[in-house]
């Protein structure tokens, strides 16, 4: 039996769903999971109900056979080195393989590009120490193999796995899905400015569409002062400015008939599988992993973020045919992103 520690040494509430899924997958395979976490996770009691939780200073004396590192941290290198010396195998889930591009500079600006470069340089030693580097999309794996594979050629693809948190009848009961939602970081790379532009246009057209914005980021001050948005506050659900717990996030997905994935830059999106979990289609750009998982007219639609009429047409079509979209989204989630569907692949990684 393997003793597997699942590591997140930089707090990010979005990673709670991945932590829980990996722990449940490890236990389902007959192994023993544990968490090694940043103190910021302490208020999320669902983690303690899934597996024992350790802090970095508590790890001495533990004999883990495997460590799964789920996100970047300046402490990963020290921890990976210590675990490696103790005989543990290191699996590093590499969410954002480095790809120098004009798009990155355009979306993140000079400051964001410099920070991304420095973060990547800090990640290189962890890549070298890892026994296996895991990429969450085939597009990400392609980028890795063309750039960072020189640091570690032992890489594999496994999608972003999650537990199934939706009600069993979610695909049949979709009457509460009233909103077109933006969920996640309110960033330029995720096209939030374009979502707001579309929302403003629709608010001026008439009362037939509602919107939902959910993010740990606060709303930009310009939105709070916008007269059009203020006059239509009853049509905009806003849940921003603090980390939402899993139950709150699930309600957001359950209330949306479509979720925005018209990103400018992305390797993979955690919003996409969570939307599919709740039978919610996405509207996506043809970048990153979206062409891998989004089937046009089946579980989502593709569009150009600047094509307001095209977006509206796609949203109307998805809302009118939500019954079939909901079933197909659930089918995609269960066959790809639900951790039970990936148990054979995870067992191979642990062996």
Helix (H), strand (E), coil (C) string for 271-332? HHHHHHHCCCCEEECCCCCHHHHCCECCCEEECCCCCHHHHHHHHHHHHHCHHHHHHHHHHH
Distance set, CA 165 to CA 123, 180, 189, 284 (Å): 32, 21, 28, 23
| CATH class of the domain comprising 179-336 | alpha beta
Least confident range from 2-11, 51-60, 236-245, 290-299: namely 51-60
Buried/exposed 241-262: b ≥16 CB within 10 Å, e otherwise: eebbebeebbbbbbbbbbbbbb
Largest CA distance in the chain: 64
d(CA 130, CA 115) in angstroms, rounded, equals 23
The full set of domain ranges for the chain reads 3-161+339-350, 179-336
Residue 296's DSSP bridge partners are 300
Whether 327 and 343 have beta carbons less than 8 Å apart is answered as: no
Among residues 315, 314, 305, 217, which one has the least CA distance to residue 264? 305
pTM of the model: 0.91
Q: In sequence order, what are the residues at sequence separation of 6 or more whose Cβ sits closer than 8 angstroms to the Cβ of residue 189?
A: 107, 108, 263, 264, 265, 266
**CB–CB of 303/310 below 8 Å?**
yes
User: Is 3-161+339-350 CATH 3.40.50.2000?
Assistant: yes
Does residue 164 surpass a pLDDT of 70?
yes
Six-digit token string for 33: 């999971």
* 179-336 matches 3-161+339-350 in CATH topology: yes
pLDDT confidence of residue 55: 86
Average of per-residue pLDDT across 29-43: 94
184 contacts 212 by C-beta, under 8 angstroms: no
207-231: per-residue pLDDT in tens? 789 999 999 999 999 898 999 999 9
The confidence band for 244, taking pLDDT boundaries of 50, 70 and 90, is: confident
Span of 16-30, 235-249, 277-291 with lowest mean pLDDT = 235-249
Task: Supply the pLDDT for residue 100.
Answer: 60
Give start and end residues of each alpha helix (H) in the chain: 16-28, 45-48, 76-85, 102-129, 138-147, 192-205, 221-225, 227-231, 246-254, 271-277, 290-293, 308-320, 322-332, 343-350
Q: Is 157 exposed, middle or buried (0-12, 13-18, 19+ CB in 10 A)?
A: middle
Radius of gyration of the chain (CA): 20
- Rounded distance, CA 26 to CA 270, Å? 21
Q: Identify the pLDDT of residue 206.
A: 73
Q: How many CB atoms lie within 10 A of CB 309?
A: 9
Structure tokens at 217: 């980021």
pLDDT bin (cut points 50, 70, 90) of residue 112 is low
């Amino acid at each position: 039996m393997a003793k597997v520690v699942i590591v997140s040494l930089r707090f990010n509430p979005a990673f709670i769903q991945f932590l829980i899924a990996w722990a449940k997958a490890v236990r389902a395979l007959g192994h023993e999971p544990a968490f090694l976490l940043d103190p910021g996770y302490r208020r999320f009691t669902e983690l303690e109900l899934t597996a024992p939780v350790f802090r970095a200073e508590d790890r001495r004396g533990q004999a883990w056979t495997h460590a799964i590192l789920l996100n970047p941290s300046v402490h990963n290198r020290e921890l990976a080195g210590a675990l490696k010396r103790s005989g543990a195998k290191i699996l590093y889930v590499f969410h954002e393989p480095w790809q120098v591009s004009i798009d990155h500079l355009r979306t993140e600006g000079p400051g964001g590009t410099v920070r991304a470069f420095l973060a990547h340089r800090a990640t290189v030693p962890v890549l070298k120490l890892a026994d296996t580097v895991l990429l969450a999309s085939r597009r990400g794996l392609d980028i890795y193999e063309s750039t960072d594979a020189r640091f570690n050629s032992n890489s594999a693809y496994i999608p972003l796995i999650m537990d199934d948190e939706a009600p069993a009848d979610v695909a049949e009961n979709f009457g509460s899905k009233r909103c077109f939602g933006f969920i996640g970081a309110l960033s330029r790379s995720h096209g939030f400015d374009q979502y707001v532009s579309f929302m403003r246009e629709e608010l001026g057209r008439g009362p037939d569409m509602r919107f939902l914005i959910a993010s740990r980021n606060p709303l930009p001050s310009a939105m709070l002062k916008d007269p059009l948005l203020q006059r239509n506050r009853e049509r905009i659900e806003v849940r921003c400015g603090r980390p939402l717990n899993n139950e709150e996030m699930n309600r957001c997905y359950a209330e949306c008939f479509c979720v925005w994935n018209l990103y400018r830059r992305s390797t993979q999106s955690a919003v996409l599988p969570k939307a599919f979990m709740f039978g919610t289609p996405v509207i996506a750009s043809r970048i990153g992993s979206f062409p891998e998982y989004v089937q046009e007219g089946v579980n989502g639609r593709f569009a150009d973020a600047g094509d307001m009429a095209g977006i509206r047409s796609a949203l109307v079509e998805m809302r009118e045919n939500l019954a079939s979209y909901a079933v197909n989204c659930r089918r995609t989630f269960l066959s790809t992103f639900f951790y039970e569907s990936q148990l054979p692949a995870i067992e191979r990684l642990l062996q």
